[in-house]
Structure 1
Amino acid sequence: MKQVIVFPRGQLSPEDRRHMYEAGFVAVEADDPSKVVLAVPLAVSAPTLGTDELTMALLHAVGTTTWEEPKRLFAEEMHRRAVAREKSLASSKTGD
């Protein structure tokens, strides 16, 4: 199943649409993209991944890449979120 991306009408050339399709995307153009509603049927044979699977895939990709900048940014963001969660939990227990 291809991913669908909605663009404002007139933004894409036929070549852009072809490149997007070849990359696995279906480009939809609309006068008002905010009003587009997509219904995506979910076949039993094509289960979606849960957050655990997506997290493990992300961690594997970050752990095996040689791209140092994305790895550093990912680690910093994980740390920032963990600290924020700890502060939030601590303040909810103390009533602050």
Structure 2
Amino acid sequence: MKELTTNETKVIINRLSRISGQVEAIKRMTENHRDCNDILTQISAAKSALDSTAKIILQNHINSCIEDIIKRNDETAIDDLNSTLTKLFK
């Protein structure tokens, strides 16, 4: 796999840091017995942020690796990607 550029890595790390903060906030909300609707709304936001981050990583993978995999007709790598996509979109 092609390594992420410095900028791509920075974008992903920033997103993951925000997500980590969201999860910590959800934990505090739960500890403080906040309204369930508020907690569920924050969980939804965190899930959406994770999905968005996964999309960036997947796009990088497609742009950097898939073309080479197809050229090599690497069925194992194609099977691995299909397996990963199945897990990601469960």
Is the shorter-chain TM-score for this pair beyond 0.5, marking a shared fold?
no
Name the structure with the higher strand share: 1
Name the structure with the higher helix share: 2
Greater Rg by CA = 1
- Give TM class, smaller chain: 0.3 to 0.5
Give the TM-score normalised by structure 2: 0.40
Give the TM-score normalised by structure 1: 0.38
